[in-house]
Amino acid sequence: MGKPFVPPKFEVPEPVKTTDFILRKLTTKDVEQDYEAVMSSKESLRQIFAKDDDWPADDMTIESNYEDLEYHEREFNERKSFAYTMRDVDDSRCIGCVYIYPWFRNGADAVIYYWVIDSEKAKGLDKKVGSFLRDGINKVWPIENPVYPGRDITWEAWEVFKEKNPQKSD
């Protein structure tokens, strides 16, 4: 059995409420609003997980989105990775997501991705979320060296980093 991402006694923050947004576990119950948010900002999302990524595809279906959410919900419940839906302050709509994945390699112990819909990014929410995460991860989570690919490290530097830091064995 491999090393757990977070210690068994760590209380995963959920929900997390701020003055600008709410974060709560992403579940299949969120499928319709998540799908709407994803598809409303699909071009800009293609820079979130990799440079010029193909996710989400123009023809992505709500059914395939449901399958993605099933996976995220299961991983969260099993404490293997943590995907949060980002909600507006009155919890009426999805405005983005946050993903916290383990990274068992030298030089990092977590990879963090996040996105906000284009209309909220235009209002500066992307920067607020980034600041909140960097501060909150350091204060609350048992993560010492998070990496924010495509944000704090360029995609090119991230690829080099991955090559130079192969997976550690437990």
Q: Give residue 107's pLDDT.
A: 80
How far is 163 from 125, CA to CA, in rounded Å?
A: 33
Q: Give residue 3's pLDDT.
A: 78
First CA to last CA distance, the chain: 8
Amino acid in position 15: P
Q: Give residue 162's pLDDT.
A: 87
Amino acid in position 36: E
- pTM over cut 0.85: yes
Q: Give residue 78's pLDDT.
A: 96
Q: Give residue 170's pLDDT.
A: 45
Residue 132 near residue 141, CB atoms below 8 Å = no
Q: What angle do CA 100, 167, 13 make, to 5 degrees?
A: 20
Compute how many other C-beta atoms are within 10 angstroms of the C-beta atom of residue 74: 13
Domains of the chain (ranges plus CATH)? 16-164 (3.40.630.30)
Ranges of residues in the chain with a pLDDT under 50 are: 170
